[in-house]
Amino acid sequence: MSRIRTTALAALILAQVIAAATSTAALAAGQISEDALNADRKSCGQACSNKGQSAAFCSAYCDCTVKGIGDQLSLDEYRGISEAAEKKTPAPQPALDKLKSITNACRSEMGKAPE
């Protein structure tokens, strides 16, 4: 699989994780709620372990990714990715690029090559 396709697939999977973990109520407060981020962390862990990664790697990677999402994505960006995943439409590119940057930084931090 090409590097571009792998990156797009990883971003799509994370966008689906975000969509599965969020609700309108969780997004209504003007910032990404702790409940939504905790649900993202749980979904990330499941998706990561389903790919055969160790529990230690998944825990550290998902903690890093969710922290990055909470720190770096605005509510509008988060909502845009979530809504696109729910509708199975492309996510807004600037938000997707930011999400890819977050996940790649976390992969690098964990000693894995960025996708």
Query: Global pTM?
Result: 0.72
Instruction: Name the percent of the chain lying above pLDDT 70.
Output: 71
**Cβ–Cβ < 8 Å for 47, 81:** no
Residue 24: pLDDT band with limits 50, 70, 90: very low
Does the pLDDT at position 102 exceed 80? yes
Q: What is the pLDDT of residues 54-81, one digit of tens each?
A: 999 999 999 999 999 999 999 999 999 9
What does the alpha-carbon distance between residue 87 and residue 21 come to, in Å, rounded to a whole number? 15
Please say if the pLDDT value at position 3 is more than 60. no
Distance separating alpha carbons of residues 73 and 37, to the nearest angstrom: 12
Which residues fall within 8 angstroms of residue 48, CB to CB, at 6 or more apart?
57, 58, 61, 62
Residues with Cβ within 8 Å of 45's Cβ and at least 6 positions away in sequence, in order, are 58, 59, 62
